[in-house]
Amino acid sequence: MDNSKKAIGVFDSGLGGISVLRDLKELMPNENFIYYGDSAYAPYGVKTKDEITKRCVEIIEFFIEKGVKAVVIACNTATSASANYLRKKYKDLPIIGMEPALKVATKGVKNNNIVVMATPLTLKEKKFEKLMNKFMGNNNVIKMPCPKLVEIVENDLIDDENVVLDQIKEYYKNIDMDNLDSVVLGCTHFIFYRDYLKKFLSQKTNLVDGNLGTCRHLKDILEEKNELNKEDNIGKIEIYNSSEDQKYINLSNKLLAR
C-alpha cells in the first residue's frame, strides 16, 4: 500500500491525547488516524519509567500491526520516559513526541515568573532538567505537578465547574498570580482546562502548550517523506482503548467533539 494512505497512530495514557488528535485532524483533515487511549493503565504520571516503556512498546506493536506510517506520542510523560528508547527500537517508524513548551513561555516575560503544570514524572525526569537548563535563563520556573487534573478528565468531570475550580485553586494557592508571566500546559490532559484557566489567571498571563508545534512537526516530516495523504476525502478516525469499559470510547468521542 502507498504509504501516504496509511493511518497515523496517536496515543496517550488515556484521554488527554484526544486534545492532540483534535489539532492533528484540523491541520491535516485528509489523514486517517488511529487513536489508542491507555485508560486501563492511566495515569502514567505516577508510574515508573520501565512501567511506562512497557506500555508504550505494546501500543506501538499494536500500531505496527495496523500498518501506520507514523506514531505521535500525545503524552509529555510517555515522551520523557520512553521516546529515546522507542526511537532506537523502531528505527524505521517516525515517532513524534511532546515536551512542555518552556521556550515559548519565556518569550516577552516581564516579571520572570513561569509555572509549568505537568505530571510528577515529567517534572522529575532528566529530559525536563535539560529543557530547564536550555531555556530557563534568569526566570523563576515553578514546577507544578497536577495529577488530580488528569483524574478529573479520566472521570468525565471536566464539565463540573466546582470540581475543576476547587482543584485549580488548590494548586495555585501559593502562587503570586499578579506577577505570573506564563503558564505552560505540560500535559495533554490539561488542554481541556484552557477556558477555565483563562478565566482564573490574570489577563496578563500567557497560556502556552505544545500541541500545535507537535502537529506541525509531524506534518513537516510527512511532507519531507512525500507521505502526506493527498486524497480529497476527509480521513477516518478509529478510537481504541485498553479498558474494556465502553465509557472511555464514548468519552473520547465526547472530548473530540468538545
Peptide bond into 94 cis (omega under 30): no
Q: Does 75 bind ligand DGL (CB under 6 A)?
A: yes
Nearer to ligand DGL, 6 or 100 (CB): 100
Q: Does 187 bind ligand DGL (CB under 6 A)?
A: yes
Please say whether the beta carbons of 207 and 194 come within 8 A. yes
Nearer to ligand DGL, 172 or 192 (CB): 192
Q: Grid coordinates standing for 239? A: 478510537
Peptide bond into 120 cis (omega under 30): no
Query: Which amino acid is residue 29, in one-letter code?
Result: P
Among the candidate windows 6-14, 124-132, 135-143, 193-201, which touches ligand DGL by CB under 6 A? Answer: 6-14
**Cβ of residue 223: shortest distance to ligand DGL, in angstroms?**
25
Q: Does 144 bind ligand DGL (CB under 6 A)?
A: no
According to CB under 6 A, which one of 32, 39, 76, 205 is a site residue for ligand DGL? 76
Annotated active-site positions, please? 75, 187
Please say whether the beta carbons of 102 and 129 come within 8 A. no
Q: Does 122 bind ligand DGL (CB under 6 A)?
A: yes
Q: Does 113 bind ligand DGL (CB under 6 A)?
A: no
Among the candidate windows 7-15, 127-135, 162-170, 174-182, which touches ligand DGL by CB under 6 A? Answer: 7-15
Neighbouring CB atoms inside 10 A of 160's CB total: 12
What's 226's DSSP letter? T
Nearer to ligand DGL, 106 or 119 (CB): 119
Q: Does 10 bind ligand DGL (CB under 6 A)?
A: no
**Cβ of residue 146: shortest distance to ligand DGL, in angstroms?**
9
Nearer to ligand DGL, 3 or 196 (CB): 196
How many angstroms separate the CA atoms of 227 and 191, rounded? 28
Q: Does 32 bind ligand DGL (CB under 6 A)?
A: no
Query: Which amino acid is residue 129, in one-letter code?
Result: E
**Cβ of residue 190: shortest distance to ligand DGL, in angstroms?**
8
Query: Mask 44-63, x = binds ligand DGL (CB under 6 A)?
Result: xx------------------
Q: Does 99 bind ligand DGL (CB under 6 A)?
A: no
Distances (CA, A) of 134 to 102, 118, 129, 130, 207: 9, 18, 9, 6, 20
How many angstroms separate the CA atoms of 54 and 104, rounded? 32
**Cβ of residue 29: shortest distance to ligand DGL, in angstroms?**
24
Distances (CA, A) of 30 to 40, 142, 232: 30, 40, 7
Let me know how long the chain is: 258
Q: Does 16 bind ligand DGL (CB under 6 A)?
A: yes
Residue 230, CA atoms < 13 Å, CB-side half-sphere: 6
How many angstroms separate the CA atoms of 65 and 62, rounded? 5
Binding interface with ligand DGL (CB under 6 A): 12-14, 16, 42-45, 75-77, 119, 122, 150, 187-189
